[in-house]
Chains A and B, each alone.
Chain A
Amino acid sequence: MEAVSVPLEHGLVLAALLFSLGLIGVMVRRNLLFILMSLEIMLNSTALAFIMVGARWAKPDGQVMFMLILTVAAAEVAVGLGLLLQLHHRFRSLDTNAASHLRG
């Protein structure tokens, strides 16, 4: 299938919108599961931006960066979900406010 001439700015604005939504999710949610999901949204939006810019110059670098982001996301989710399980075990809740022992 032949590629289309999508305007670069529109793709990047889409990435910015998704990033903002993810940011709102991180700030609004108290459930650690939703926070992790919102983080994935933000990571995905940056990946989208990389793909867009890479496609603009028809270079493979954008996709390379996408793959690196993918590995970061995989590792982050693995560790993040492990922590989530620990949180649930300790506090019988996924509320991040419960784990506020770091208060100065």
Chain B
Amino acid sequence: MELILFYLAAAISLGTTLMAITRTNAAHALIYFIISLLASAVIFFLVGAPFAAVLEVIVYAGAIMVLFVFVIMMLNLGEAGQRQEQAWLSLSAWIVPAILAAILLAEMVLVLSSSETPIPAQSVTPKQVGESLFGPYILAVEIASMLLLAGLVGAYHLGRRYLEETREDEGE
């Protein structure tokens, strides 16, 4: 039963991801991608990582993707943008990337093609994760905090210039 749930979630994840990379409408693509992330969250839950599953839903699908939504709203691409995307997504543009990705995939599957190792039916609780994070991984957490700070400053800097210049444009 749970195994079927895993394959179902996997199929949904693959299908929605495929849809996400082929859409011409950015908002549609984003929705497909969010569904894919939710399917991933299901898989996380199934393999015994409930904390990761929760974070996937709240932070990834919830917070990060909302940023994309904001940007799509600001740009307001519309019908013209969709036609442009249609023109760019010609069949010939797919050939080389598809071949390269297929080779890479084949190589990765070749690496993974050993006997089937079952994942033990055992959950890793948020408490364990927390102890690990603030125990041996404390340095990594500090670095991650600095990375986020850098991202914050960078995003503010780039965004501010954009806003100022836009304001000047409007003022003219």
Chain A–chain B contact at Cβ < 8 A: yes
A75: CB under 8 A from chain B?
yes
Q: Chain A nearest CB: distance from B86 CB in Å?
A: 11
A74 touching B64, Cβ below 8 Å:
yes
What is the CA–CA distance of A54 and B47 in the complex, to the nearest angstrom?
A: 9
Return chain B residues, CB-CB under 8 Å to A41: 17, 20-21, 33, 36
Give the interface size bracket for B toward A: 35 or more
B:35-66 near A, CB below 8 Å: 36-37, 40, 43-49, 51-52, 55, 59-60, 63-64
Query: Once A and B bind, how many residue pairs between them come within 8 Å at the CB atom?
Result: 260
With known contacts A23-B100, A23-B104, A33-B68, A28–B89 Cβ distance under 8 A: yes
Which residues of B does A touch, CB under 8 Å?
2-3, 5-7, 10, 13-14, 17-18, 20-21, 26, 29-30, 33, 36-37, 40, 43-49, 51-52, 55, 59-60, 63-64, 67-68, 71-72, 74-75, 77, 81, 84-85, 88-89, 93-94, 96-98, 100-102, 104-105, 108-109, 112-114, 116-124, 128-129, 131-133, 137, 140, 144-145, 147-148, 150-152, 154-155, 157-159, 161-162, 165-166
